[in-house]
A and B are shown apart, each in its own frame.
Chain A
């Protein structure tokens, strides 16, 4: 039982990492008033660009860097549509996801077409902090990006949003852009910045799958993790720490259901019950947390000077 729980906790952090990264990225965007539905496409493109550059350059680090840059770029493209042109955020976000899904598969064929198995490269290896400890050993045997996500990116997001002038501006353009503008701060600049940071984090989440967990790229590698991240941001009430908790709840139930299936129990319920568990838990959590949800007041609203 002890081993079961230890392994479950270890898997929870691993499974949650890409979702938490993307959800924190989405938090930056939505705090600035932009719902970025390009998240699924940006994760997919990030997973591919990271893999491609890592494969061609021979360096996983260079691959990850380019993935993040690609994410920033498409975050800014989202900004061009929604901030500069002020078009509907749902349409531009879904448009970016569709565009990047097609572009990624197209580029995949260009570079890796005509294979019967997906291309693979040696991935980042896990870092074991306390290899001999029976409990902390397995839990603290994670990829470096998992440590960075939970120990740096999430606390940093909290600190930036709540303790810095820049974070105050992000939150303000999401609540009351007129006031920010009146104070002499450029609303578009802040929104672009938030979307750029958000896109970079989403792409890093995608690259976690291709460069860390698998060392391979296949189509469908993201499999809806971006949409889960959107739900988790709402669950987390746009607060980084709560968003992280939401990601851990989803990742934890996902890891748990795989372990329940692997126990080979003769249960009177079909295996789909286990598969549905993470989504049911997320929905229940949303329903409970959603009662107090306080959307950024300017979310979905393009800002135009009167």
Chain B
């Protein structure tokens, strides 16, 4: 009797948690005519994670404009569920395109894509495109990160600048190295402290890391991760956001920050899918400044805190990058401590 009870409770718990725990959630089609193509989002993390959030936002925007129908599943994780989710979606919903992030799930995505050549697979990936139907993108916001570096080098008074990042993966290294290049261009004497917290989401640790940098003399902070801006607010310092416009996290403290915008990528894929011309390719250009996929967040009146000559230089470089006259170096090796 007791054993049966234990087993029953065990089953109940499993069912209960299975119902509630995976916050994977499918949204009914929001708007749009029935003939709009169905796009599906398959995200490894919850959409609250800024990286996947950017992709989700761009797809949602296209759906709101009636260009596509959009459904998504998030928090799929890295434990082997990606392949199952993709196969189910491909079999049942038969979307025209599936967007997502393949980091940590590269093989699974490519395996499924091979079996469904009629579906466009568009994934954030560290690898190249795969024929016939896997197109890849990534976040390439090193150009605005370089502009932030110019500003940081101009506004620091202690000549020490702090950067707190998640992991030293190529995408983060590109941003941090470009930021350091910017700092060094206007202020060769400045020292840039770089700390990694080895987590994409631990704002308390990120804040502690930033406070440690402040104790070491930093008076300007680059917040690759959430939590750092809190440290800047608490200590009355200036900071840069990352990935989205994060001014509201620290009004009066957040100067600007590199912003990633996936809309150009999504729009391009919609056109390709509708025209039947979708090809496996690297969509990286659509996530860079030239095509509007990356830009510097609005200043929200914080220009007043930036020296005029620096502001002029930033605007000049911004124009040059847009016009293809200036190239920000892409460096993917982990940033070395700079003195």
Give the B-binding residues of A (Cβ under 8 A).
3-4, 7, 11, 14-15, 18, 81, 85-88, 91-92, 95, 98-99, 101-103, 105-106, 108-109, 115-118, 120, 209, 213-216, 218-221, 223, 254-255, 258-259, 261-266, 271-272, 275
A258 and B204 contact, CB distance less than 8 A: no
Q: Does B16 contact A (CB under 8 A)?
A: yes
Closest to B48 in A: A219
Distance in angstroms between the alpha carbons of A106 and B74 in the assembled complex: 12
Contact across chains for B23 and A221 when beta carbons are under 8 A apart: no
CA of A262 to CA of B216, assembled, Å: 7
The distance from the CB of B17 to the nearest CB of chain A, in whole angstroms, is 4
Assuming A259-B216, A265-B337, is B16 touching A15 (CB within 8 A)?
no
Q: Known contacts A118-B226, A258-B212, A262-B215; is A99 also within 8 Å of B193 by CB?
A: no
Query: CB distance A263 to B204 under 8 Å?
Result: no
Question: Does B153 belong to the interface (CB within 8 Å)?
Answer: no
List the 9 shortest-distance A-B pairs measured between CB atoms, nearest first. Answer: A220-B201, A102-B21, A264-B337, A223-B202, A95-B13, A102-B20, A116-B244, A258-B212, A98-B17
Cross-chain contact of B209 among A115, A117, A258 (Cβ < 8 A): A258
Contact A258 B337 (CB under 8 A): no
State which of B2-10, B140-148, B316-324 sits at the interface with chain A. B2-10
Determine if A264 and B204 form an interchain contact, defined as CB atoms under 8 angstroms apart. Answer: no
A7 — nearest CB in chain B belongs to which residue? B215
Alpha-carbon distance A246/B103, docked complex (angstroms)? 36
Q: Could you jot down 21 A-B contacts, CB within 8 Å?
A: A11-B212, A81-B13, A85-B9, A91-B10, A95-B14, A102-B17, A102-B22, A117-B244, A120-B249, A214-B203, A219-B46, A219-B49, A221-B201, A221-B203, A223-B202, A259-B212, A262-B212, A264-B216, A266-B336, A266-B339, A275-B198
Q: What residue of chain A has the Cβ atom nearest to residue B9's Cβ?
A: A87
> Is B42 close to A, CB under 8 A?
no
- Identify which of residues 172-200 in chain B touch chain A, using a CB-to-CB cut-off of 8 Å: 191-200
Other 19 A-B pairs with CB < 8 A, given A95-B16, A271-B195: A3-B215, A11-B212, A14-B208, A15-B208, A85-B9, A99-B20, A214-B204, A216-B249, A220-B201, A258-B212, A261-B194, A261-B195, A261-B209, A262-B195, A262-B216, A263-B193, A264-B193, A264-B216, A266-B336
Chain B residues lying within 8 Å of A98, measured Cβ to Cβ, are: 17, 20-21
Complex CA gap A85/B226 in Å reads 42
Known: A262-B193, A264-B339, A272-B198. A106 touches B48 (CB 8 A): no
Instruction: Give, as a whole number of angstroms, the nearest-CB distance from B310 to chain A.
Output: 24
Q: Are B201 and A223 in contact (CB under 8 A)?
A: yes
Determine the chain B residues whose CB is within 8 A of the CB of A118 once the complex forms.
Answer: 48, 203, 226, 249
Asked if B48 contacts A218 (CB within 8 A), the reply is yes
Q: Is the CB of B162 within 8 A of A258?
A: no
Q: A99-B16, A117-B249, A218-B226 are in contact. Are A209 and B46 (CB under 8 A)?
A: no
| Complex CA–CA separation, A179 to B216 (angstroms) | 58
| Chain B interface residue bracket vs A | 35 or more
User: In chain B, what residue has the closest Cβ to A271?
Assistant: B196
B162 touches A262 (CB 8 A): yes
B17 touches A262 (CB 8 A): no
The closest CB in chain A to the CB of B6 belongs to A87
- For A213, list chain B residues within 8 Å (CB): 204, 207, 230
User: Contact at A105–B23, with CB atoms within 8 Å?
Assistant: yes
A92 and B201 within 8 A (CB)? no
A129 → chain B, closest Cβ, in Å?
A: 18
Q: How far is the CA of A164 from the CA of B308 in the complex (A)?
A: 68
Does B211 count as interface, using CB distance less than 8 angstroms?
yes
List, in ascending order, chain B residues with CB within 8 A of A266's CB.
Answer: 336-337, 339
Question: B residues bordering A, Cβ < 8 Å?
Answer: 2, 5-6, 9-10, 13-14, 16-17, 20-23, 25, 46, 48-50, 53-54, 57, 75, 162, 168, 191-205, 207-209, 211-213, 215-216, 218, 226-227, 230, 244-246, 248-249, 336-339
List residues of chain B with CB within 8 A of the CB of A223.
199, 201-202, 204-205
Closest Cβ of chain B to A42, distance in Å, is 15
Closest B residue to A105 using CB positions:
B23
- In the complex the two chains form, is B191's CB within 8 Å of A264's CB? yes
In the complex, what's the smallest C-beta–C-beta distance from A257 to chain B, in angstroms? 9
Complex CA–CA separation, A98 to B17 (angstroms): 6
Beta-carbon nearest neighbor of A108 in chain B:
B48
Cα A102 to Cα B249 in complex, Å, equals 26
CA distance A98 to B21 in the complex (A): 6
Q: Which residue of A lies closest to B213 (CB)?
A: A262
Q: Are A216 and B208 in contact (CB under 8 A)?
A: no
Distance in angstroms from A107 CB to nearest chain B CB is 10
| Bound Cα distance from A254 to B49, whole angstroms | 24
Q: Which residues from chain B contact A95 at a C-beta distance below 8 Å?
A: 13-14, 16-17
A15 cross-chain contacts in B, Cβ below 8 A? 208
A103 touching B20, Cβ below 8 Å: yes
- Please report the C-alpha to C-alpha distance between residue A209 and residue B208 in the assembled complex, in whole angstroms: 12
Inter-subunit contact A215/B230 (CB<8 Å): yes
Please name the residue on chain A nearest to B10 by beta carbon.
Answer: A91
CB distance from B291 to the nearest CB of A (A): 21
How many Å from the CB of A306 to the closest CB on chain B?
13
Residues from chain A with Cβ under 8 Å of B207 in the complex:
213-214
- Shortest A104–chain B CB gap in Å is 9
- Identity of the chain B residue whose Cβ is nearest the Cβ of A215 in the assembled complex: B230
Task: Determine which residue in B48, B211, B230 has the highest number of CB atoms from chain A within 10 A of its CB, and name it.
Answer: B48
Beyond A87-B6, A218-B48, whether A255 also contacts B20 by CB under 8 A is no
**Bound CA span A99–B197, Å:** 27
Q: Looking across the interface, which residue of chain A has its beta carbon closest to that of B249?
A: A117
Decide: A85 and B203 in contact? CB cutoff 8 A. no
Bound-state Cα–Cα, A214 to B231, Å: 9
Query: What residues on A are CB-neighbors of B338 within 8 Å?
Result: 264
| Interfacial chain B residues near A259, Cβ < 8 Å | 212, 215-216
**Closest A residue by C-beta to B205:** A223
User: Of all chain B residues, which has the CB nearest A225?
Assistant: B204
